[in-house]
Structure formats: structure tokens, C-alpha cells
Amino acid sequence: DLAQIGVSGLAVMGRNLARNLARNGFSVALHNRTSARTKSLVAEHGDEGTFVPTETLEEFVAALERPRRVVIMVKAGAPTDAVIDELVPLLDEGDIVIDCGNAHYADTRRREADLRERGLHFVGAGVSGGEEGALLGPSIMPGGSKESYATLGPMFEKIAAHVDGTPCCVHVGPDGAGHFVKMVHNGIEYADMQLIAEAYDLLRDGLGASAADLSRIFAEWNTGDLASFLIEITAEVLGHTDAATGQAFVDVVLDQAEQKGTGRWTVQTALDLGVPVTGIAEATFARALSAHPEQRDAAREALPGPARGSVPVSDRDAFVDDVRKALYASKVVAYAQGYDQMAAASAEYGWDIDLGAMATIWRGGCIIRARFLDRIKDAYAEERPASLLVAPYFRDAVAEGQEAWRRIVAHAAKAGIPTPGFSSALAYYDALRADRLPAALIQGLRDFFGAHTYKRVDREGTFHTLWGGDRAEVEA
Ligand code: 6PG
């Protein structure tokens, strides 16, 4: 019998996706560059469903029913192109190649156009949820043609996580839309983690709380508006004791954050689209700053400032609650910005992304799964808000928390505790709601030094002032 779907690339994610498919009753052809992985999968998990192990790509392709559904799960970039190049000559018209890796959406657009020309479908599918998600139900964000989704969608919807009976998988839009949305998901993941880290830092050093105390605080927060996977595992990580030293685990981990690139791509893309994703950008730069130990060593010696924790906190419970509110408000800003970025890309590329549906499929399976995504889904249920921040629920939530937010940002500044995420989110909020922005002065300066022209508030047209002459205004 021919297999219903194939998976090539059986490292952890590919292996678990293949098992998830098999456990859901689909027959799965397996392929890996080195067959040892294929064999061990069948040896260890062969009883979970129907696997068809193959050794060569030719054998793999021949083992699949048509139109073939071929999932590739290899490293993004050149390794993905290499597999596609080998695979394509073996396929027939109408077959579907599905890239479930963290590919750059521009690569996905290129590959989709290329394969379409050869009569094949190429689906760039974002898959979130890590190893466990891949096995037990990830959030899946497939792009590509509607036609390919018709044959692929039902399978993906079955293996995806489900929330209230709704699968965390939907056709995002054509070509690179799925990978774009997954990229923004990861950018938001960066922002979420940075904000959590700032809350931790404020409470740890600002309040002098222990890691164990903080584990309890985060567990408590996880029962309210902030309830989410990342808050839940923050409580776990902070509650963990290092076996070797008996110290809090968080204290023995080197404080230099790494990154594989999706956060950076989100920021780079946002710059091109002209969308201010300051929360994601600050989170990405905070990781970069942490990873420059020589500079930090020099600065630690040379730069004066308040000692951490030197600003007393009079009411500890109130402070903890303020931090919680500041975290929530900043998180809303980060999501609002990420949603703006998806909206901008959707318009730019004609993807017609249903933004509410993105919140629906992020409610389960993925790393940023959170209770408040239901609220985002609701915010987009009717007319699209100009910003998530002006949608009634979020407007009220942030308004309610803003005094706390301001107190925390002010406290952080006085106490020398860096809060780039909290602070820039508040600055964004204030800039967005400002009557007038100092951008007017910037326009004046640009006109002064470069005759870059400006528009006026009281008249149509484009103007230039003769700064070097009699300062008369001329129409440009
Ligand atoms: C997910 C994760 C996953 C991966 C991140 C880690 O959605 O399952 O986002 O894709 O763990 O890409 O990214 P960094 O290594 O850049 O932190």
C-alpha cells in the first residue's frame, strides 16, 4: 500500500511530526539522509502506526500515493534547497512539497514560484510548539495554494493542537504567508520572553526576592490575565535547583542569550515594511547586548550608576502587582505591533491574512499560546481595529494598568534596572496617543539641511523654506 504522506528529515522535529501523523491514523513514508535515524524511529515507535521506511529518495517518492504529499524537515537555507533540488525531478505534476522548517518567507516565495512553474505545489508551513508540540499537537501555519490546502489541510488540522474543538491550523494565505506568520510568532516569542525577563529582573533585584519566591509569583500570575505557556514554564525554570551546586538553576546559567535568526528576520522585515515593532526589536537587541561579554566587562568597571536594589520599595505586594500590570500592558503593545506587521505584509503581498484566525491558531500548540489570544480573536472578529491597542478590551486593560506601568518604568530608571521592553512599549503607547509628535521638528531640520521639504497643517501642498536666504517659503 502506498503511504498517504512522507516525511524527509528525521531529526527531532521531523521524527515527532512523523509519529504524530502515524498516531493519527495516516500512513507515513520515512526518509532520512542517513538511514540509521529511519531505522531507529521504526524500531522504537513502529507500533504507533503505519510507517513505510525507505532508504533512497527514489524509493521514498515511489512509496507515496498521488498527489504526493512530501514533508521536508531539514535545516533552513541551503540544506532545504539541496533536498528540494534532489526531490523535484522525481515528482509528478500536482505533487505537494511541504517545508515545515523555520524558513525565511522570501525563500519560501522563491521556492513556491519555482515549483509552481514546474507544475508542483510548494507549501511553506510554520510549525510551532517545539519537540513536544510536534508530537502531541503543534500550531501549524501553512501557506501555499488553496488547492494544496484542500488535500493537505484535513491531515494537518487533525494532527494540530485543538482548543475548544477548533484546530490550531488554518490556511494562512498564498506562497510565503505561512512562514511570514511563523516568523512574526517567533518575534513575538522574543518580545514575550524579554518582558518576562524584565519582570523577573525587577522583582529579583528591585525587591530582593529569591528565585523560589519568584517561581511562586509567576505561578500565581499564570492563573490570571497573563496565563500562558511562557509564564507557566517561567515558574518551572525559576523553581528549579541546580543538582551540582544546590543553587537556583537560573543563577548558574551564563547570562548570554543566543538566537537562531527568526527574531532578527522579524525586525529586518519590519524595517523594510516601515512597521515599528519596537518590542520585538528591543528584545532582539537585548539578546545581542547580553552576548557581548568584553564590552559588558569594560562597562561594569567604568560606568557609574545606582546599585541595583538601592531604591527601596515600600509596599512589596503593590510593587509585585505593578510589575504584573506593566508586563501585561507591554505585552499588549508587542502583540499590537506584531499584528501591524502581519497586516502590512498581507497588504504588500496580497495575502489577505485573516488576523483573527492567527490568534485562533496560536491559542494552542505554539510557544506563545496564551489565554489572552481569545481576546485578540474577539478584537478582530468585527471591523479590523486601527491598532490592537484601540480595541475596547485592550484599550481598557492598558488604561487600567497604565499608572502601574509608569511607576515601574520610573522605578527601573531610578534603580538602574534595564527595562528596554517595558520602557519602549510605554514610549510607543504615549507616542501613538500624542496630539502632536516632534516629527514636525525633524521635518524642519530635514528641510533646513537638505531641502527635503515638508507639508503644512493648514494648507495642501509641499513646501520648502529658503533657510540660507531670506527664509521665505516656496512651494516645492
Ligand atoms: C517554536 C519556536 C521554535 C524555536 C525558536 C527558537 O515556535 O516552536 O519558536 O521555532 O524554538 O525558533 O528560536 P531562537 O533559537 O532564535 O531563540
Write down the pLDDT at residue 71: 98
Q: State which ligand 1 atom lies nearest to the alpha carbon of 287.
A: 17
Ligand 1 mean position to 186 CA, how many Å?
A: 6
Q: Which residues have any ligand 1 atom within 6 Å of their CB?
A: 102, 128-130, 186, 189, 259-260, 262-263, 366-367
Strand positions, DSSP E, 301-369 = none
Q: State which ligand 1 atom lies nearest to the alpha carbon of 130.
A: 8
Report CA 352 to chain centroid distance, whole Å: 19
- Of 92-96, 294-298, 311-315, the one with minimum mean pLDDT is 311-315
Ligand 1 mean position to 283 CA, how many Å?
A: 14
Counts of helices then strands in the chain (DSSP H, E): 21, 11
Ligand 1 mean position to 314 CA, how many Å?
A: 39
Ligand 1 mean position to 94 CA, how many Å?
A: 32
Burial zone of 414 (CB within 10 Å; 0-12 exposed, 13-18 middle, 19+ buried): exposed
C-alpha cell read off for 53: 521506511
* 13, 16, 102, 105, best to mutate for ligand 1 pocket (most atoms within 8 Å of CB): 102
* Confidence check: pLDDT of 383 > 90: no
Q: State which ligand 1 atom lies nearest to the alpha carbon of 139.
A: 7
Name the closest-CA residue to atom 9, ligand 1. 186
Band (pLDDT 50/70/90 cuts) for residue 389 is very high
How far is 57 from 33, CA to CA, in rounded Å? Answer: 9
Q: What is the pLDDT of residues 174-186, one digit of tens each?
A: 999 999 999 999 9
**List of residues 6+ apart from 417 with CB closer than 8 A:** 201, 202, 205, 206, 308, 411
Q: What is the mean pLDDT of residues 331-345?
A: 98
* Confidence check: pLDDT of 310 > 90: no
Choose the catalytic residue: 157, 189, 198, 282.
189
Write down the pLDDT at residue 309: 81
**pTM, two decimal places:** 0.97
* 260, 280, 369, best to mutate for ligand 1 pocket (most atoms within 8 Å of CB): 260
CB atoms within 10 A of CB 33: 16
Name the closest-CA residue to atom 5, ligand 1. 186
Name the closest-CA residue to atom 14, ligand 1. 259
How far is 156 from 24, CA to CA, in rounded Å? Answer: 10
Query: Residue 58 catalytic?
Result: no
Write down the pLDDT at residue 362: 98
Pairing of strands 139-142, 162-163: unpaired
Write down the pLDDT at residue 113: 98
At 290, give phi and psi (nearest 5°): -60, -25
Name the closest-CA residue to atom 7, ligand 1. 128
Q: Are the C-beta atoms of residues 115 and 176 closer than 8 Å to each other?
A: no
* 105, 186, 258, best to mutate for ligand 1 pocket (most atoms within 8 Å of CB): 186
Report CA 2 to chain centroid distance, whole Å: 37
Q: What is the pLDDT of residues 19-56, one digit of tens each?
A: 999 999 999 999 999 999 999 999 999 999 999 999 99
Q: State which ligand 1 atom lies nearest to the alpha carbon of 102.
A: 10
Ligand 1 mean position to 301 CA, how many Å?
A: 34
Q: What is the pLDDT of residues 70-123, one digit of tens each?
A: 999 999 999 999 999 999 999 999 999 999 999 999 999 999 999 999 999 999
Ligand 1 mean position to 428 CA, how many Å?
A: 26
Ligand 1 mean position to 57 CA, how many Å?
A: 28
Write down the pLDDT at residue 220: 98
Choose the catalytic residue: 59, 65, 146, 182.
182
Pairing of strands 463-465, 473-475: antiparallel
Band (pLDDT 50/70/90 cuts) for residue 238 is very high
Q: State which ligand 1 atom lies nearest to the alpha carbon of 261.
A: 16
Which residues are registered as beta bridge partners of 97? 70, 122
Band (pLDDT 50/70/90 cuts) for residue 455 is very high
Query: Residue 189 catalytic?
Result: yes
